[in-house]
Amino acid sequence: MRPILHTSLVLALLLTWIGILPWYPSSTHAQVGKPEGLYYKSWAIIIAVENYLLAPPVRGAVEEGKKVAQAFRQLGFDEIVEIYDKEATSRRLHQVLTDVLPRKVGRMDRLVIFFVGHTGLTQDAQGKDMGYLVPLDAQINNAAKSVTVEHLKEFTRRSASKHTLLIIDAPIRGWETTAPQQLSLEGRQAPEADTERRAVQVISAADTSGAPVRTDGKSVFVQTLLTGLSGAADLNKNGWLMASELGAYVADQVAAASKGAQRPVSLRIDGDGDTVLVEGRKAAFVLGAGPQTPAERQQAAKAQYEQAFSLLQEGKYADEALERLDRAIEYDPTFGDAYVLKSYVRLEVLPNLDEALAAGQLAVKHAPDNPDSFYTLGLIQEKRGRFKEAEEAMVQASKLNPGYQDVYFSLGTLYADHLNDQAKAVEAFRRYLELGGAHARARDAVSQADRQPKSAP
């Protein structure tokens, strides 16, 4: 198995967490490279306001918000943020849009924002119509505390997310749009070009001439949306569910159900890509069945591992990273590199020496060609006070990768501090320096040894 944590990356991750090496900023803008799938992380922000303080209630809004949240959980979204009634104040919504999401959402993420509640209409400085979302503590006919279309536009400009989809169960005006996109996937199995390009898209429940239809207190738009997200909106039946397909499906179905009284609108307001809601090759288990075949389970395990590794590189979300590693191991109990990373997490990030040792032993069993399996196990044994076992593991790591300079530094300190073998300590430190290491302790040890007079033969 090809090593995943090469040379000093275990140590780099370690130093990131203990604060010595601030390589990765706190924002997920630090995401580098390409994720295993289309996205590093998927976010769904669900906002539902039913019992307004200064406006009539929107019956059933919170229940509908919870159903939409559950639909995105079933689609495999990582972060579901639910903001209902008393939490949906003007201050809270503005904080989420101007501070929380811009800091946390990364450039290889997807983001869906769903809103159900009242909307209003005002005019901007140029006299053009501008719609707004009404928070819990705002009035319908006063935009002072609202979230305007301009606020939403500014948020999407600031957000680093690759794909952003706004779904609004109300009519709202004021979007500056590019030409409506055609369905992306006709006759194709994998929409590579569309999924790589940035996109900001909007699906709203009605155009300016209509209003959302509610039957028995239930929104026709939301009911249709949920049906579409369950797979019905995959119009070309190729396993990929795209925002453009969802928008077209909802527009047609709601217009038919309301006999033309309500006409949803699907727009693209930035970019020329298309948000993916279900990735074709993952559709079999994303929609709730779970990975079934050995190949699907290995693929799912690898995706969980890659996401865990990315979270650790960012220097946060350690609990979530550990959960993803456990899930990867559950999918594939022979996934050696997952054990390697888990042993490191349990050694340095979320310390638990018993779990670290168990994971380290399984790492050397299932990833015997990965030098990090033995290096991390050696660090674990050293911390447990089992110094000879630590030496054996680190020596094996050096045999698997003779250029692994961090192993030689660790061996040098192990010999000097715990095994009382200064000759081997100097030998290990010397090899570390030859490989480009520069730690002062190694330099001092080698310099002092070289100054010692040689004994006569």
pLDDT value at residue 30: 42
Domain count, the chain: 2
Same domain membership, residue 268 and residue 319 = no
Neighbours of 326 (CB within 10 A): 14
Same domain membership, residue 315 and residue 269 = no
pLDDT value at residue 278: 87
Same domain membership, residue 428 and residue 325 = yes
pLDDT value at residue 178: 52
Question: pLDDT digit string (tens) for 215-240?
Answer: 666 889 999 999 999 888 888 777 78
Please indicate, yes or no, if residue 25 is contained in any of the structural domains.
Answer: no
Same domain membership, residue 333 and residue 268 = no
Please indicate, yes or no, if residue 20 is contained in any of the structural domains.
Answer: no
Please indicate, yes or no, if residue 343 is contained in any of the structural domains.
Answer: yes
Task: Please check whether residue 275 is in contact with residue 242, taking contact to mean a CB–CB distance below 8 angstroms.
Answer: yes
Please indicate, yes or no, if residue 310 is contained in any of the structural domains.
Answer: yes
Same domain membership, residue 303 and residue 237 = no
Question: pLDDT digit string (tens) for 81-106?
Answer: 999 999 999 999 999 999 999 889 98
Same domain membership, residue 251 and residue 111 = yes
Same domain membership, residue 233 and residue 374 = no
Supply the CATH number for residue 363's domain.
1.25.40.10
Please indicate, yes or no, if residue 24 is contained in any of the structural domains.
Answer: no
Question: pLDDT digit string (tens) for 227-277?
Answer: 999 888 888 777 788 999 999 999 999 988 888 888 898 988 888 888 999
Nearest CA to 263 among 202, 201, 212? 212
Supply the CATH number for residue 205's domain.
3.40.50.1460
Please indicate, yes or no, if residue 1 is contained in any of the structural domains.
Answer: no
Same domain membership, residue 238 and residue 97 = yes
Question: In which domain, by residue range, is 411 found?
Answer: 294-451
Please name the residue that has the structure tokens 């159903």.
67
pLDDT value at residue 27: 40
pLDDT value at residue 269: 87
Please indicate, yes or no, if residue 100 is contained in any of the structural domains.
Answer: yes
Q: Of 232, 247, 278, which residue sits at a domain end?
A: 278
Task: Give ∠ CA 406-412-417 in degrees, rounded to 5.
Answer: 125
Same domain membership, residue 273 and residue 399 = no
pLDDT above 70 as % of the chain: 81
Same domain membership, residue 304 and residue 273 = no
pLDDT value at residue 208: 62
Q: Of 220, 243, 278, which residue sits at a domain end?
A: 278
pLDDT value at residue 23: 31
Task: Please check whether residue 168 is in contact with residue 82, taking contact to mean a CB–CB distance below 8 angstroms.
Answer: no
Residues 397 and 99: their CA atoms lie apart, in Å, by 45
pLDDT averaged per 10 residues, the chain (length 457): 39 43 36 59 95 93 95 91 96 94 90 94 82 93 91 89 92 65 45 70 80 73 93 82 92 89 88 85 47 79 82 74 90 94 93 95 95 95 96 96 94 95 95 93 93 67
Please indicate, yes or no, if residue 443 is contained in any of the structural domains.
Answer: yes
Q: Of 228, 243, 278, which residue sits at a domain end?
A: 278
Same domain membership, residue 108 and residue 155 = yes
Query: Which residues make Cβ contacts (< 8 Å) with residue 142, sequence separation at least 6?
Result: 120
Same domain membership, residue 260 and residue 142 = yes
